[in-house]
Amino acid sequence: MMEVQPFGPGSMHWDTTGEYRNLLVAGSALVMQTMHPAVGAAVAEHSTYKDDPWGRLTRTLVSIQKWVYGGADGPAEGERLRRLHRPIGGVDELGRPYHALNGEAWAWVHLSLFERFVVLNRYFGTPFTVEQERRLYAESRQLGAILRVPERELPADLEAFWRYFDAMVADRLEAHPTALDVLSVLRGTPAPPGLPRPLRRLWTPVGAGSGEFNYFVTVGTLPSAVRRKLGLPWTAREERRLRHLGHAVAVLTPRLPERLRYMPIAYHARKAARGARRLERHLRSA
């Protein structure tokens, strides 16, 4: 296991993980994660995504922010998650045994987030350069250590990651009933209650309710191979609409005040870090 190092200012995760625009790929992340048979079975039996979708997402986002903005407490949050998942296991509807801490499944939940960060910036920001992807993936391996993902499950570098990702989509992911159910739940989900007003105005630009918008963005940002596996149609016209929406988000996001751009834990951590740096400079110059 790699040495666990907390994140801090200057890392890519510090600048991106706490942004509200991550909500735009939260649904697609859950769909892809639950296409892994072990994850799909565990979520079906033990998750509250149906009864409390935004509550479940809020708890997930708080946990993710602690990984990145919690400093020395980040690894403790990773360990808490492992303890929480340790008793989750059983046999799925096809008679296959599963466990939430199965190394491959635990790694997939984590590593799929890296791919979602790349897609998020492809659609709703400035696409990463290859070097930025390399840097972000190196940080993702660092995050994997915080989450106690077995190092053998973490591809060594960016090229190895994309080979791993393509193989997982082709050979391990399936049209799991939980993934299809997540899509159905997303279709009826309203706008997230904590979304800032400027972003809330972008929540319904496709002419339907916010649940339909959520479904539209979720399906549109999935890899085409995943859409095919799930039997989800996607047209060139829909892709153009998604690109137009993405351009609007990419233009708006950098102009938002930091307190509207970032979720509360991220905002306060970033503000505190700047204050600590100012104090350090004053002490050095005194």
Predicted confidence at residue 163, as pLDDT, reads 98
pLDDT score recorded for residue 87: 83
Each residue's pLDDT tens digit, 212-255: 888 999 999 999 999 999 999 999 999 999 999 999 999 999 99
Under a CB-based contact definition with an 8 Å cutoff, are residues 26 and 161 in contact? no
**Rounded Cα distance, 203 and 212, in Å:** 10
Q: Take residue 148 and report the two structure tokens written for it.
A: 């106690």
Q: What is the pLDDT of residue 52?
A: 67
Q: Compute the distance between CA of residue 246 and CA of residue 244 in angstroms, rounded to an integer.
A: 5
Q: What is the pTM of this model?
A: 0.86
Count the neighbouring beta carbons within 10 Å of the beta carbon of residue 94.
8
Per the CB < 8 A criterion, the answer to whether 40 and 34 are in contact is yes
Three state DSSP letters for 169-199: HHHHCCCCHHHHHHHHHHHCCCCCCCCCHHH
Helix axes 53-69, 26-34, angle to 10 degrees: 100
Backbone angles phi, psi at 266, to 5 degrees: -65, -45
pLDDT of amino acid 109:
94
158 in Cβ contact with 137 (< 8 Å): yes
Q: Taking the CA of residue 124 as centre, how many other CA atoms within 13 Å lie in the half-sphere pointing to its CB?
A: 24
pLDDT at 194: 66
pLDDT in tens, the chain (286 residues): 455 777 899 999 999 999 999 999 999 999 999 999 999 998 888 766 666 666 777 788 888 899 899 988 888 888 888 888 888 888 888 888 888 788 899 999 999 999 999 999 999 999 999 999 999 999 999 999 888 899 999 999 999 999 999 999 999 999 999 999 999 888 876 666 666 777 666 665 544 467 788 899 999 999 999 999 999 999 999 999 999 999 999 999 999 999 999 999 999 999 999 998 876 776 777 6
- Nearest-angstrom CA–CA distance, 101 and 238: 37
